[in-house]
Structure 1
Amino acid sequence: MIKVIIERHIADELGEHYEKAARTTLQKAMQAHGFISGEALRNVNDHNHRVVIATYRTVADWERWLSSEERKEMMEQIRPMLDREEKFTLLEH
């Protein structure tokens, strides 16, 4: 089992639009093979800094979702709202 930390920093004034798109993305990810759980968090000191923590069965399951057409389509909506590239950290026990 692995944890994937996805960090995103959204542009000012786009929080509401981001939240809607991020919820849709998480709902789609929940259907991905090997997905176990996920949560979306907001930094209390920087409301534009968002963190998604997702648990997948294996690195291969995560990579399958990462390169999927569904995720690519969702990121086409999210990417314009970001003021920098998203960052991934993969962790294991």
Structure 2
Amino acid sequence: MIKVIIERVIADDMESTYEEQLKKTLTAVMGAKGFISGTSYIDIQNRNKRTIITDWQNIECWKRWHKSSLREETNSQIRLMLQQDEVVKTLESQPLA
């Protein structure tokens, strides 16, 4: 399993519009092969900063979704609301001992 962390900074006064579009994206990603779960977080000190953490079966499933036309379509609306490009990090777990 891998985790994908997406960090975004949304423009002022775009919170409700962003949340609506994020729900549409969530509906789309739930059907993606290998998607396990996801959670959206709001930065307590800066409410315009958002972090989405998703779990995927493997990196290949994430890459397939990341390059998909459906993600491009849903993300195209989100990109219009951002102050800067989103930052995407992919992480795999490593045993501590």
TM class, shorter-chain normalised? over 0.9
Deviations 1:40-91 (A, max 9, x none): 1111111000010000001010000001011000111111100000001111
Structure 1 match to 2:64: 64
Query: What's the TM-score once normalised by structure 1's chain length?
Result: 0.97
Larger Rg: 2
What percent of counterpart residues are identical? 42
Matched to 2:59, the amino acid is V
Structure 2 match to 1:50: 50
Matched to 1:29, the amino acid is V
Q: Distance in 2 between matches of 1:43 and 1:28?
A: 24
Q: Once superposed, which parts of structure 1, at least 4 consecutive aligned residues long, lie more than 4 Å away?
A: none
Q: What root-mean-square deviation, in Å, do the aligned CA atoms of Structure 1 and Structure 2 show?
A: 0.6
Query: What's the TM-score once normalised by structure 2's chain length?
Result: 0.93
Match of 2:33, SS? coil
